A = this chain, B = another copy of it.
Amino acid sequence: MTSPESRLAELGLTLPEAAAPVANYVPFVQSGNLVHVSGQVSKGRDGLIAGRVGTDLTLDEAKAAARVCALNLIAQLKAACGGDLSKVKRIVRLGGYVNADPAFTDIPQVINGASDLMVEVFGEAGRHARSAIGCAVLPLNAAVEVDAVVEVE
């Protein structure tokens, strides 16, 4: 089986630096073999993807923002696994939060941007349970935030 790292390379993706904690919380905590990863906002190489989906961003732009969140989650997971993503046994759950105009209801389609990347990178182990909701506002006015519960070896 192709390693998650090879799949990232095939996808032309480079992991960002795992973002450092900015307060009295940490990017992830492992308890038993479950890792809880903190909410990652849509902040990528080109800066923060900000604004309200349906007003400031289209569905496609928001889906791309969700993909950025997932890439940040994978960067945190790599740190949690001591640098070896093949220790990820299963993405158990994603929580998807969309900074959404109250009239914008395609919330699942936005979060598919994160779900798809998980399956592209981890294969069957990337298929997860998921909840997705529309929020009044997100940290820094980010367009999307995603968190995760992950089983590791």
Give the B-binding residues of A (Cβ under 8 A): 22-29, 31-34, 36-39, 52, 90-95, 97, 100-105, 107-108, 112, 115-116, 118-119, 126-141, 145, 147, 149, 151
CB atoms of A31 and B92 under 8 A apart: yes
A137→B104 CA distance, assembly (Å): 7
Integer count of this chain's copies in the complex: 3
Query: Main secondary structure on chain A at its contact with chain B?
Result: strand
Q: For the complex, what is the distance from the CA of A140 to the CA of B103, rounded to whole Å?
A: 10
Q: How long is the Cα–Cα vector from A80 to B20 in the complex, in angstroms?
A: 32
Closest 8 CB pairs of A and B: A39-B131, A134-B137, A25-B130, A24-B115, A36-B129, A105-B141, A24-B119, A36-B93
